[in-house]
Structure 1
Amino acid sequence: MQNLKICLLFLLCLSCGKDREKVLPQKTKLTSSVYASATIQPDSLYQIYAVVAGILEDNLVEEGDLVRKGDAVLQINDRAPKLNADNAYLSLQQSKENFQGDAAILKEIEDEIYSARLKFNNDSINYSRQKRLWEQNIGSKAEFDTRKLAYELSANQLKQQRARYARTKYDLETKMAQARNSYSTTKIITDDYTVNSKINGRVYALFKEPGELVNTLEPLGAIGSASNFKIVMLIDEVDIIKIKIDQLTLITLDAYPKEVFTAKVSKIYPQKDERSQTFTIEALFTEPPSILYPGLAGEGNIVISEKEDALTIPIEYLMDGNKVETEEGLVRVEVGLKNLERVEIISGITEKTFLLKPKG
């Protein structure tokens, strides 16, 4: 009776072993990759900020509009700065007229210099003539002194007029330069009340409505490329050292559930996000989908390495990181590449070794 019980128990264990799933290792092409969450963003995307505070007067564009670099996007109320700019412009025009115009102050002084030069030339001739006569003892001393005095006075007057011209010219040039600088300053301040696009692209967001208060700390909108998009991915810190520029990346998007798109890693940001303990990388599509929108979400798999004819087993058959269960018992193996489904076995078993699936 005891022998019968032992025999039945052996048959029961044997039948249980036969019911467990078995597999044979297979030689396949194994691709090892790093998983990442992915988000689509326009290239050159940036947020719009004002450099002055005030009241938003108007949104000059709408969300979705195409803009060129330098196009006005938003207008902040600028009545007071504009009046200052207008006054500065008038001052500049007046300074130019005083310096360069038909009724210029310098023209009047030039005429006076011309008259003074004529008088000087005439007095110089008379003085020279009278001096020669006096040297020949002809004429009176009083007449000689009169001619000499007239010559010296006209010479001094010409010198003063030339000095006055130089001084007036310098003053007018200085005032015109000051007026020009003042106008440029007020023009810059006025321009600061208009927010312009920094790139050729599309307006993706506007956050304020006319009449609302704006400041220099809050974004007013977002502008980015209209045609070029990038894939922003978050990589776990344990995997970041495996990532290199130009690595092949397979992208799946929730908006295109049945398609897989290829891309290449284009940028690796060196700063880790301490909150999420992740690094950010960017990739560019090899052939992008026909329609893309900012914020589309999906997944990315960055291909780290590939190997042909690798001996692999389903990853769920691997126990404790380096053991498998065969019909003869547990066997220690050396593992190589792995992905989410299969793992490479370098040594320890062969293609003819049946493996038992670990018990749940």
Structure 2
Amino acid sequence: MKRLQIEPPNYLSLFSVLSLGFIYWSCGSNSREPIQPEIIGITESVYASGYIKAVDQYDAFTNASGPIQEIFVEEGDSVSIGTPLLAVFSEREKLSRENSELAKAYAGLQENQSKLRDLQLTIDLAKSKMQNDSLLYARQKSLHDQNIGTEVEFEQRRLNWENSKTAYESSLIRYNDLKREIQFNSNSASKDLAISRVLESDYVLKSKIKGKVYALLKEKGEMVTPQVALAVLGSMDNFLLELQVDEYDISKVKIGQVVSVSMDSFKGQTFEAEVSKVYPIMDTQTKSFKVEATFTKTPPQLYPNLSLEANIITEVREKALVIPRAYLIADSLVINEDEDTLSVKVGLKNYQFAEILEGISSETRIIKPGL
């Protein structure tokens, strides 16, 4: 007789099927469990990422090209407006400044007093001669009126007086012209020297603010150009947040809104700030807008360029009818416990909840949409 062979059941397969069924039933029953809307507070916010910056922070550039001759400060030093940071070597500008100093010394009013004194002596001599000739002419005229003397003598005296008068007036004109010329040359030489000093000062990088040197980007001896940043400076104690906000959210951001800030440097802590400036132009590369905020609750220690994440609070509703966003379909529909689809009007939304303005009440029982 042929014996029947009964294969043992495949318990692994059976266990797998039962397990999958149990998981499906469990998830399905939990996800389909009816809930009711709640009345709670809801906050809508806009996400932004960014960095910490010192107030008045800027990259310092020089107008000169050449090797760095000397560095006068160190990173972390305090500086004032006009404090020299470093000097770039330029033999040409140094020689130009020295040449301008020589030209000014030669053209100065004080250095040309001898020329004026010499001409003043000529004026004094011409004046004395004019006065003497005037006196002789007056005497000869008196004699001429008494018919004493010849006509030639009278005319000669008059001609001498007129010539000496002309010479005196001419010497006055030459004196004034020389004085104006010396004054012009002196002023011109002073201007040239000032220009040379300005050009030479371009080779000395100076601080534009009262603050702190956060970074020196080059070392002594390195070649620099006007296109290369040499240092980073900013306020010593005051900092701001530079945020990047997506173009889709920028219309919701306004000056004065509260900003909740978190940073990797202070894990588990949240700080508060306030929107202080919204830049009106979009960065076409990142498709975002720059927004600045100032701390109202400041961390104990800050450094420029610390990364941060922020939520800009755009609206707060203290009492709102809300449902979990997972129960919302296409931001406009929900399913009640009878599996009817209901249309709703949505208000504020965040990552967890959505406010319901119309369509259901707090008594409505809804279920989570199935897969």
Q: 1:189-232, CA deviations, whole angstroms, 9 ceiling, x for partnerless residues?
A: 11111111111111122221111111111211221111221111
Task: Using the TM superposition, give the Cα deviation of residue 159 of structure 1 relative to its aligned residue in structure 2, in angstroms.
Answer: 2.1
Task: Using the TM superposition, give the Cα deviation of residue 300 of structure 1 relative to its aligned residue in structure 2, in angstroms.
Answer: 0.9
Counterparts in 2 of 1:202-351, with a 5 A limit? 202-332=212-342, 333-351=344-362
TM-score normalised by L of structure 1: 0.89
From 76, 96, 103, give the equivalent of 2:88. Answer: 76
Contact 1:331/1:348 (8 A) holds in 2 = no
1:352 aligns with 2:360: no
Identity level (%): 36
Q: 1:64-90, CA deviations, whole angstroms, 9 ceiling, x for partnerless residues?
A: 211111111120113331232122123
* Structure 2 unaligned spans of 5+: 1-21
Task: Using the TM superposition, give the Cα deviation of residue 354 of structure 1 relative to its aligned residue in structure 2, in angstroms.
Answer: 3.4
Moved more, 226-235 or 346-355: 346-355
User: What is the alpha-carbon distance in structure 2 between the residues aligned to residue 307 and residue 103 of structure 1?
Assistant: 85
One-letter amino acid matched to 2:103: S
Counterparts in 2 of 1:58-77, with a 5 A limit? 58-77=70-89
> 2:192 maps to which residue?
182
Task: Using the TM superposition, give the Cα deviation of residue 308 of structure 1 relative to its aligned residue in structure 2, in angstroms.
Answer: 2.0
One-letter amino acid matched to 1:171: E
> 1:133 maps to which residue?
143
Task: Using the TM superposition, give the Cα deviation of residue 93 of structure 1 relative to its aligned residue in structure 2, in angstroms.
Answer: 2.4
Closer, same or farther: CA 102–91 of 1 in aligned 2, 3 Å = closer
From 56, 60, 71, give the equivalent of 1:44. Answer: 56
From 164, 174, 199, give the equivalent of 1:154. Answer: 164
One-letter amino acid matched to 2:100: A
One-letter amino acid matched to 1:60: F
Task: Using the TM superposition, give the Cα deviation of residue 22 of structure 1 relative to its aligned residue in structure 2, in angstroms.
Answer: 4.4
Task: Using the TM superposition, give the Cα deviation of residue 17 of structure 1 relative to its aligned residue in structure 2, in angstroms.
Answer: 6.4
Moved more, 278-287 or 75-84: 75-84
One-letter amino acid matched to 1:243: V
Task: Using the TM superposition, give the Cα deviation of residue 352 of structure 1 relative to its aligned residue in structure 2, in angstroms.
Answer: 3.1
SS at match of 1:104: helix
Moved more, 187-196 or 343-352: 343-352
Contact 2:34/2:337 (8 A) holds in 1 = no
Task: Using the TM superposition, give the Cα deviation of residue 33 of structure 1 relative to its aligned residue in structure 2, in angstroms.
Answer: 0.8
> 1:34 maps to which residue?
46
CA RMSD in angstroms comes to 2.2
Counterparts in 2 of 1:162-173, with a 5 A limit? 162-173=172-183
Q: 1:177-200, CA deviations, whole angstroms, 9 ceiling, x for partnerless residues?
A: 221121111111111111111111
User: What is the alpha-carbon distance in structure 2 between the residues aligned to residue 273 and residue 220 of structure 1?
Assistant: 26
Q: 1:239-272, CA deviations, whole angstroms, 9 ceiling, x for partnerless residues?
A: 1111111111111111112222111111112222
Closer, same or farther: CA 190–290 of 1 in aligned 2, 3 Å = same
* Structure 1 unaligned spans of 5+: 1-11
Contact 1:323/1:330 (8 A) holds in 2 = no
4+ long deviations beyond 6 Å: 12-17
TM-score normalised by L of structure 2: 0.87
SS at match of 1:137: coil
One-letter amino acid matched to 1:356: I
User: What is the alpha-carbon distance in structure 1 between the residues aligned to residue 237 and residue 124 of structure 2?
Assistant: 69
Contact 1:35/1:302 (8 A) holds in 2 = yes
1:91 aligns with 2:92: no
Closer, same or farther: CA 16–111 of 1 in aligned 2, 3 Å = closer
Task: Using the TM superposition, give the Cα deviation of residue 104 of structure 1 relative to its aligned residue in structure 2, in angstroms.
Answer: 3.0
Task: Using the TM superposition, give the Cα deviation of residue 153 of structure 1 relative to its aligned residue in structure 2, in angstroms.
Answer: 2.7
Task: Using the TM superposition, give the Cα deviation of residue 58 of structure 1 relative to its aligned residue in structure 2, in angstroms.
Answer: 1.7
User: What is the alpha-carbon distance in structure 2 between the residues aligned to residue 221 and residue 204 of structure 1?
Assistant: 8
From 94, 110, 118, give the equivalent of 1:100. Answer: 110
Q: 1:21-73, CA deviations, whole angstroms, 9 ceiling, x for partnerless residues?
A: 44332111111111111311112111111112111112221122111111111
Contact 1:266/1:282 (8 A) holds in 2 = yes
Contact 2:105/2:111 (8 A) holds in 1 = no
SS at match of 2:330: coil
SS at match of 1:113: helix
Aligned residues: 347
Q: 1:319-347, CA deviations, whole angstroms, 9 ceiling, x for partnerless residues?
A: 23223333211432222111111111223
Moved more, 150-159 or 332-341: 150-159
User: What is the alpha-carbon distance in structure 1 between the residues aligned to residue 30 and residue 88 of structure 2?
Assistant: 77
SS at match of 1:269: strand
Contact 1:249/1:301 (8 A) holds in 2 = yes
Contact 1:44/1:225 (8 A) holds in 2 = yes
> 2:7 maps to which residue?
none
